[in-house]
Structure 1
Amino acid sequence: MAMDARKQRILEAIVALYATDGEPVGSGLLASYFDMALSSATLRNEMAALTKLGLLEQPHTSAGRVPSSKGYRYYLDHLIEAPGTTSLGEEDRAAIDRLFASMDVEPEKLAQSTARALADYTGCAAAATTPQAEDLCIAHFEVVQVGRYSAAVLAVTSAGGVRTRVARINTGLTRTDAEQLAQLLNRSLTFVAPEDLSPSLTAGLAMAAGQRLLPVVLAAEALVRTRPQVSLEGAQYLAKMPDVRTNLGTLLEIFSDNEAACDLIEPDGGKITATLGDDLDPPMPNCCIVSKRYLAGGGLHGTVAVIGSNRMEYQRLIPILNYFAIKLGQSMSGKKEEQI
C-alpha cells in the first residue's frame, strides 16, 4: 500500500493535533481540521490504512489514532520541511537576540547559558557543547598559585577558549615553582594532539618537574585530552512530561559521561537531525532528540539540541533551534550581529 498525498496530509495533521492536545485523534476532530473537506468516513478509511502501514496506532478499540514511532520517523524524514530562520517570527528573533546579548561570551559559560535559555524558551530539556575541531590544541599554559597548597593550571586553546584545572601540591607551591612549571608546559605540551600524549612524554615531564610537582603535569595533560564539554539544562521539564519522564534516569546517566553525551546529541553533518528514542541504545521510548551543528569560525563547530517528547511541536521548535544554533555560532566566534 503506497503513501499518496492524501495519506501524507492526514498523517501530518494527526502529528500536529496530537502534539497540541496529547489525546488520540478521532475522525471527527480530523474532519474539523480539514474544514470538512473530507468526510469522517473517508478519514476513518485512510486512518485504518495508515494503521495497517504501521504509521498510526490505536491505544484503545474505541479511541482515535496516535502516531507510531514509524509514523514519526516517516513524518520527520518525508513530510516536515527543514525550515530556515525565515520561518521564525520577528518576535521570536528579537526575544532570542535579547537572550544572547546578556550572555557571558566565555565558551564554557556560553554553551551552558545557551542550553539553559533554549530549555526555558521551548519548555523541553536542552543541551549544548563547547566548540571543537579536529586540530584543536593548547596554545599556551599558565600556572597560578592558589593558596599555599594548590595550583590552577590555565590552558588557552588554539581557538581562544580557556580551560582550567586545579592541582593539589601537598608540599606547597611557590611563585618560582609556578613560573618554572609554566615554562616547562609551554615547551613540552603546547600544540600537542591528545593522541601524542605518550607514556614516555609523561615520564620526561615528571622527571623535569620533580615528583612533588607531578600533580600539575597531570592536570595539564588532562586539559590537553579534554573533549568538548556538554551542558544539559531543563531536565525538570522532562519530569513534567508523563510520556517521557520514565526516561529521565537513563538520560541523566548518559549525561554524567561527557563523551557519551556528546555522541548522543551529535547531528548528522550540517543537517538538523531528529533521533527518536526507540532508535537509541539504550532505548528511550517516546523521547526525541533534535540537534543542530553550529559553526564558530576557524573550523570549530559544536552542537545544540532540544530533548523532549516525540510529540513535540516540530514546526515551532525546529526554527527556534536553528536560530539558537546560528546565534551561538556568532557569539562563539565573536561576530557582530548581521542580517540572517
Structure 2
Amino acid sequence: MAMDARKQRILEAIVALYANDGEPVGSGLLANYFDMALSSATLRNEMAALTKLGLLEQPHTSAGRVPSAQGYRYYLDHLIDAPKSGTLPEKDRRRIDDLFAAMDAEPEKLVPAATRCLADMTGCAAAATTPQAPDLCIAHFEVVQVGRYSAAVLAVTSAGGVRTRVARVDTGLTRDDAANLAQLLNRGLTFVAPQDLSPMLMASMVLAAGQRLAPVIMAAQALVTTGPQACLEGAQYLAKMADVRQNLGTLLEIFSDNEAATELIRPEGNKITATLGCDLDPAMPGACIVSKRYLAGGGLTGSVALIGSTRMEYERLLPILDYFAARMGQSMAGQGQ
C-alpha cells in the first residue's frame, strides 16, 4: 500500500490537530477540519490504511488515531516545507530583532541570553553552542593581576572572540609577573592548534615561567583547548510536558558534558534537522530535537535547537528557529544591529 496525496493530507492534518490538544483525532474532527470535503466514512478508511502503514496508532479501541514515531518521521521528512524566515509573522520578526538589539554580541554572553529568549518565546527547552571553527586558535594573550593572589588570563581568538580564565597563585603575583607571563604565552602558545600542545611544550612553558606560576600556564592551556560550549535553557517547560518530562534527567546529564551536548544538537548541513527521541541513544521517548546551524562569520559556525514533544507545533516553531539562527549569526558577525 503506497502513500498518495490524500493520505499525506490526512496525516498532515492529524499531526496538526494532535499538536493542538494532545487528544486522539477522530474522523468527525477530521471531517470538520476538511470542511466536510471528505466524509467520515472515507476518513475512517484512510485512517485505517495509515494505521496499517505504521504511520498512525490507535491508543484505545474506541479512540481516534495519533501519529506514530514512524508517522512523525514521514511528516518531518516529506510533508513539512523547509521553513522560510519570510513566513514568520512580522510581529514575531520585530520581537526577535528587538531581543537581539538588546544583547551583548560577545558569543559567550550572546549564546545563553539568546537561548533563554528562544525558550521563553516558544515554550520549549532551547539549546545552543558557542561558535567554533576547525582552525580556530588563540591569537593573543593578556595576563591581568586580580588581587594579590590571582591572575586573569585573557585570550583573543583568531576570529576575534575573547576567552577568560582565572588562576590562583598561592605565593602571590606582581604586575611584573603578569607582564612577563603575557610575553611568554604570546611567544609560546599563540596560533598553536590544540592537538599540538604536547607534554614537552607545556613542560618547557612551566620551566620558563617557574613552578610557582604554573597555574597561569595551565589556565592558558585550558583556553587553547576549549571547544564549543553548550548551554540548555527552559528545562522547566519540559517538566510541564507529560510525554517528555521523564526524559529531563537524561537531557540534563547529556548537557553536563559539552562534547555530548554539542553532538546531540548538531544539525546535518545547513538545513533544519529533526531528531526523534526514540532514535537517540539513550532513547528519549516522546521527545523531538529540531536544530539549525548558524554562521557567525570568519568560518565560525554553531548550533541552536528546540527540544520538546514530538507533537510540537512544527509549522509555527520552525520559522522561529530558522530566524533565530540567522540573527544569532548576524549579531556575532556584527551585522543587522
TM-score (structure 2 length as normaliser): 0.99
Q: Does 1:133 align with 2:119?
A: no
Instruction: Give the Cα separation in 2 of the matches to 1:149 and 1:58.
Output: 67
Partner residue in 1 for 2:288: 288
| Alpha-carbon offset, residue 196 of structure 1 | 0.6
Please give the per-residue CA displacement for 1:135-167, whole angstroms capped at 9, x wherever unaligned.
111111111111111111111111111111111
AA aligned opposite 2:93: R
What is the CA-CA distance between 1:104 and the residue it aligns to?
A: 1.2
Query: In 1, Cα distance between the equivalents of 2:206 and 2:95?
Result: 52
CA shift for structure 1 position 130: 1.0
Q: Distance in 2 between matches of 1:271 and 1:115?
A: 19
Aligned residue type for 1:268:
E
Partners of 1:111 and 1:27 in 2: CA distance: 45
Which residues of 2 match residues 147-158 of structure 1 at below 5 A?
Answer: 147-158=147-158
Q: Give the superposed CA RMSD.
A: 0.7
| Alpha-carbon distance in structure 1 between the residues aligned to 2:246 and 2:146 | 43
**CA deviation map 1:87-144 (0-9, x unaligned):** 1111111111111111111111100111001000000000111111111111111111
1:24 aligns with 2:24: yes
2:60 maps to 60
- Cα offsets for 1:215-262 (capped at 9, x unmatched): 111110110000111111100000010100000000000001011100
Provide the rounded CA distance (Å) in 1 between the counterparts of 2:58 and 2:215.
61
- Give, in whole Å, the separation in 1 of the partners of 2:12 and 2:170: 64
Partner of 1:272: 272
1-structure distance, mates of 2:187, 2:226 = 19
Give 1:99's aligned residue. 99
Q: Aligned residues: percent identity?
A: 79
In the alignment, the residues of structure 2 paired with residue 142 and residue 59 of structure 1 have an alpha-carbon distance, to the nearest angstrom, of 62
1:1-340 matches, within 5 Å, as 1-337=1-337
Distance 1:194 1:124 in 2: 35
Residues 277-310 of structure 1: per-residue CA shift (max 9 Å, x gap): 0111100001001000011111111111111001
Cα separation, 2, equivalents of 1:10 and 1:336: 41
Letter aligned with residue 236 of structure 2: Q
The structural deviation recorded for 1:336 is 3.1
Q: Which runs of 5+ in 2 are unaligned?
A: none
Deviating runs (4+, > 4 A) in structure 1?
none
Q: Which amino acid aligns with 1:218?
A: M
Q: Distance in 2 between matches of 1:8 and 1:273?
A: 21
